Structure formats: structure tokens, C-alpha cells
Structure 1
Amino acid sequence: MIVGRRELLRGGLGLSAASALPSAVFAASARGRAALGLADITIMKELGRDYSGTLRAIAAMGYSHFGFRLAGYGGGSREPSAQDKARMVRDAGLEVGVVRLPPVRPDLDRQIGDAVAIGAKVIAMSAAPPFISGRLGVATRAAFDAWLPELAALGAKCRAAGLTLAYHNHWWDLMPLDGGESPLDIILRSIAPGDLAIELDLAWCWYGGVAPLELLGRLGPRVSSMHFKDIDRKRGKSTTDHAVVVGAGEMDYAALLPRIRRLTAAVGYIEVDSPPDGLAAAAAGARFVQAHR
């Protein structure tokens, strides 16, 4: 069911249906601070210059969790291993958050083994291969259906290893596929919750014309984590150009954040896809969330 974003702020869609869910998205982390995550893509340039120093800087901003890709962000041989990343995360006083499969996944068993070895709990798939193998965001129903059993099998393999596999949505996952169901709806009815969680990107919901709160309420405890970014379609030309830090776009996160707390205890991760200054974006995101939670 697709609900327009204008309905989002009319009556808090989905709130009553989810009233029995945990009461605070910003529950205390294991280290005693309010839980707030940062996705590594926000600070990729800074991490490339000084990984451990950058982590210490974001810890000082009030972040509790750090989510990172296991490998494959383009750092080549200079990019730290998953084990080294996890060590630096913990040394900075942060918790290992959601870890991500790289865009090209030639050795899934090794990636899963790395996630287990570093003590991760959730491993995320950033996008379905049918939507990134050709024209970005475009796939046929036949190609998607052919791939879907691979997703189910990967979810079962992660569960057997003690991990939760999470599927990260983009706007295309919310659009009708060949005039029928959306990819996300197909995934939700085809794969059991025990084998697949959802990492809900609120901005891509909004971009796809779906009210984030309605979808969050409908998914309920199946949401394992969230990405918080805002949308400003007057900025730049590409979709990633339109992604800005929370509070700097059109989504009214000041109204969203208190309602999110009533819907889920999942940790929200600040994410900006290509900021000119990653540390400045991280600091602005932390300040905004801390002021409005």
C-alpha cells in the first residue's frame, strides 16, 4: 500500500497499529549513551585520510554506533580490513553497527565469516543486483523474480551464522514493477521475517512517494535499522545530489523524529551520500537529532 508523503504529517499514519512496539528509537546503547549511528559513506574522504582519528572525532559528536562496509569502497590495498575497522571502531568508544556487503559480492562466505568474526549482529545488502547491473534503478519483473531465491538463501545462510540479513531500500524498491507489485512488497511476502529484516531509508521512501511513518508502522519489528537523510530536489541534478543532512531538506525531520520514537527501537544512522565536508555533515546531523529526539 503506497501512501502519499503529504498524508505523512496529517495524522501520524500507522501510529496506533504500532503502539505495542518498543517506545524509543534512541534507546541507550551498551556504552550508556543515547543510540545514534553514522553510516561510513558520509565520511569516506575523511576515513581515507585518517580512519582512527575520524572515528574519534565522530564519537566526540555523540554517536554511539558506526556502520561500515566490510570491504570494497574503493580504498584498494590501503583500505583497512574488516577486523582492523572493527578494532578502531571499538577503540574510539563506538559500537560496531550495521556492516555492509560490498557492491560486488564474489565471496559471500568470506564476507559472512568476517561479519561474525568482528562481532557484528546485522549485515546489510545495499541494493538488489538486478537494479544495479544495468541502468540504475531499472529491472524487469522476470529478472527480479529470478534473483529473489538468492536473497532468500542468503538470509537463511546469515541466520545460520548468527547474523540478521537486512535489505536496504531505495526509491525504486517502492515503485510498481512492470505495473504490478513493488519490489519491497514482493520481498516482504516472499521471505520470512526470520530470514530477512529491513534497513529502512526514510529519504528514499519519501523520494519514492511513500510516507515513511506509514511504512515504518507497517513493517514494525521487521525494521532492524534506519538511515536518516533529507531530500532537497533543488540541489544539484542527480539523485545523490538531492540527498542532504537531516534538517536541511524538505522532509520536516523535526516533526518526524518524535513520531519515529513511538514506532521503533531500531537505531537510526545519519547518512549523506556525497557531502562536500563529511565531518561537517556528521556534526550537523548529530546536533539536529539530539535537539529533536
Structure 2
Amino acid sequence: MKRMGIGLQMYTLRNETAEDFEGTLRKVAAMGYEGVEFAGYGDIPAERMRELLDELGLKAIGSHIGLHLLENNLEDEIAYLKTIGAKYAICPWLPVEARDTESWRKHLVSFEQFGKRFREEGITFAYHNHDFEFEVEIDGKIVFDALYERISPEYLQVEMDIGWVQYSGIDPVAYVKKYAGRLPLLHLKDFRGGEKGQQIDTVELGNGDLPLSPIIEAASEASVEWLIVEQDVCANPPIESVATSMEWMKANYLNKFE
């Protein structure tokens, strides 16, 4: 198995970073996470963020950048990413009013434009899914697949959220394999209970229903670069939840490389 990096999507610790961003990053590094994916920077200047990451030995994987920022603040976003040495820019979410078929046709055009601009600066643009990308079709294709069929890989890569893939009724291992070579980032999370349209619980890795070990094996074979831990909602204190997930990764993944 190829060794992939282990990162954390900082959205999981959004409440903690709102109170103490730098202190929270220190705790994340101490747990053994190797990289972080941002979802906002807590008003920390890019130069200071770069210094902090260097001090802690954390890699800046990339950042989730909302559609409104991609549309209205693209150059500033590029400048920040370049300063902290991040390789990826990811659109993480679309508002409800921007998810119908006609809106998606427009996104196909704008995403390609974003991807071209990021590529000019040495940054890779990617899209992060939830479940709604599997509920709308464009010309007979579900949106998730249409995105990657119509936009060149040089302008759009996949950040697959494996929890939402399974929740949508799709075999997560098969979907990882389907996008091999175009899937540098995999959001690793665990869900417990709930069929499509029902209540689900997001839980620490190993406490849910996803076949995590086969998913990780498939990710390695698919040339995934980063396994990124994310827990949308935590029943336990979030800082404890991400520590628990990291301990699962040490016991079930990192131990294979010792």
C-alpha cells in the first residue's frame, strides 16, 4: 500500500478556531496530523499562517473556498494559497438556490474558468461533494459524473467525500476506483445509521458503518495523496473526536508502515 498523508479539515474544529486558531492548530499538530485543509483563516495574515505551519511541521493541503469568494475574491484567495504553500483550492458547497439543472450548466462553465486561473498559478482546483450532486441530472448524467466528464482533469480534480457517497446509495470503494488518477484528496469520515433521506450520525472513524479499511486500500491504489479526516457534527467535544479519529488511523493505517 502506498503511504498517503493524513490531514484534517479544519471545519470540524470551527468553534475551537473561532476562539483560538493558533492554539487549535498546535493541538492538531500534537495529535499527529500531517496536514490541514482550511475552511477560513481566522483573519490570520498569510505570512503569519505560513510561519505557524512551518513551526508546527504541518503542510497546507489547500482550502475550501465558498462559491461567493471564487466569484468575487478569486485573486486574493490565490495569493493566500500561494503564500502558505497550498496546492489545492476546493469548492466545498453550493447554496440550495444554486443546485438546479440550469444552475449546474452555469457552474460547468464557471468551474472551468476558475480551474484555468488556478492552474496558471500552479494551484489545482477541485470540487467537494455532498449528496445533492447525485440527485440532479444534466442530459441524463448525474451531476457528480457530468462535472468530471465535461471539464478537463487539468482544470478540475475530485475531492471525494466518501461518507456522502455511501449515503447516496453508491458503493464507496467502487467510486474511488472509478475516479482513480483524478482523485488526489479523499475526505475520510464515518456515518452511523440512516438510509437516504433519514437521520444520520457523523461519528469518529471506526464507530460507524463505512468500510474504512477497504476504502483506504482503494484510495492507495487510486493514487490519492491525502486522506483528510472530517466530522461534520460531533456528539463529543470536537477536539476529542478528531483525536479519536487520529488514534484509529494510527492503529489501522499508519501501523502498516512501521
TM-based fold match above 0.5: yes
Structure 1: 5+ residue stretches without partners? 1-22, 28-34
Residues 5-44 of structure 1, C-alpha deviations (whole Å, 9 max, x = no match):
xxxxxxxxxxxxxxxxxx41x34xxxxxxx2101101112
Pick which of 274-283 and 247-256 moved more.
Answer: 247-256
Pick which of 246-255 and 183-192 moved more.
Answer: 246-255
Residues 131-183 of structure 1, C-alpha deviations (whole Å, 9 max, x = no match):
x143xxx8322221123100111111110111000111111212342783111
Distance 1:153 1:214 in 2: 30
1:227 aligns with 2:193: no
1:80 aligns with 2:44: yes
Q: Tell me if the contact between 1:155 and 1:164 (Cα under 8 Å) persists in the aligned partners.
A: yes
Larger RCO (CA under 8 A, 6+ residues apart): 1
What is aligned with 2:208? 249
- 1:198-277 → structure 2 map (5 Å cutoff): 198-233=158-193, 242-275=201-234, 276-277=236-237
Task: Give the Å deviation of 1:124.
Answer: 0.6
Give the fraction of aligned pairs with identical amino acids, expressed as a percent.
23
What is aligned with 2:34? 64
Task: Give the Å deviation of 1:238.
Answer: 8.0
Tell me the secondary structure at the aligned position of residue 180 of structure 2. helix
- 1:117-266 → structure 2 map (5 Å cutoff): 117-127=83-93, 129=94, 132-134=95-97, 139-177=99-137, 180-233=140-193, 242-266=201-225
Q: Which amino acid aligns with 2:88?
A: V
TM-score by structure 1 length? Answer: 0.77
Distance 1:202 1:184 in 2: 13
Residues 105-153 of structure 1, C-alpha deviations (whole Å, 9 max, x = no match):
12112112221222111111102x4xx143xxx8322221123100111
1:179–1:231 Cα change, 3 Å: farther
1:178–1:186 Cα change, 3 Å: closer
